[in-house]
Amino acid sequence: MKERRSKIVAMSAYTERAESIQVTEELIDGFVAELTEKGRSQESLKNYRAILMGLYDFLPEDKILNNESAGRWRRWLKESGYSGRTINSRISALNSFLQYLGRREWQSDEFHYNHEETQPELTRAEYVRLLQAAKASGKERSYLLIKTLGGAGVRIQELPQLTVESLVRGHAQLKCHNTNRVMHIPEPLRRELLDYAKREGIKEGPVFVTQEGSPLIRSSVWHYVNIVSKDARVDEEKANPRCLWKMYQSTFAGIRSGIDLLIEQAYERMMEEEQLAVGWER
């Protein structure tokens, strides 16, 4: 224990002198270990680790963290469609990590952003225009991501779980925020994704991957969706995974309410027919 504490003290002394810090998984582990000693719950520890691994994925290949890259990450959070509560929790986690690293001057006190109050609504017509623009410009990955997120209702966190194997089966087992669901993959999308995977040489695992075969990170997905907004004549604020998800939910809710109305009308007609047959007529 003393040896680990001395390592932390030495690391903190080093970071106070450094203008940049290379973030490693070991560094994140050390931070989480310190939180463990402070008695944080397992759920809280898991949340901190997930947030900081998200930061790790966001950083460039050299994984250098400094005041500038920390600011870029905070700006990206605000541009990526997260709720105000989610943004605040991530900024808070980063602030704690920066304190652990001895770099309080890189912290931020911007905890007043509420994205949900200003989140615009993407219409179904605008969604179709996004698809048309992506197709017209030959941006197949953008086209397929938009259709997968907005047409099939796959959440951005679930994309790595959409695999070639699930396409072959016709359904995907998806887990997000401690909930599990089985998603039927619409046949037109299934065929397009299978053709895409075959041409890209993706024989197994996630469908949307980098050239190195790793799942796309959140910022890359956001970029691929947003890049066609201008050609589609859709506000840039609407061309993101969160708006696509909300549009999918609204579409399904509208269809479901229409079906419920048809069921009520059919049941009422049945009751009227029974009334004619066996009603209590005075």
Q: Which fold has domain 2-116?
A: DNA polymerase; domain 1 (1.10.150)
Question: Which of helix, strand or coil describes residue 53?
Answer: helix
* CA terminus-to-terminus distance, the chain: 90
Domain ranges for the chain = 2-116, 124-254
pLDDT (tens digit, 9 = 90+) per residue, 52-92? 999 999 998 899 999 999 888 988 887 776 667 778 888 88
Amino acid identity of residue 245, one-letter, is W
pTM above 0.75, yes or no: no
Question: For the chain, how many residues are written?
Answer: 282
Burial-class residue 257 by CB neighbours within 10 Å (0-12, 13-18, 19+): exposed
Block mean pLDDT (10 aa), the chain, length 282 = 44 52 93 87 85 91 91 82 76 89 84 52 93 96 96 90 94 79 91 95 94 88 92 91 90 82 87 85 64
How many Cβ atoms sit within 10 Å of the Cβ of residue 72? 15
The CATH number of 124-254 is which of 2.70.70.10, 1.20.1420.30, 1.10.443.10, 3.40.190.10?
1.10.443.10
DSSP 105: G
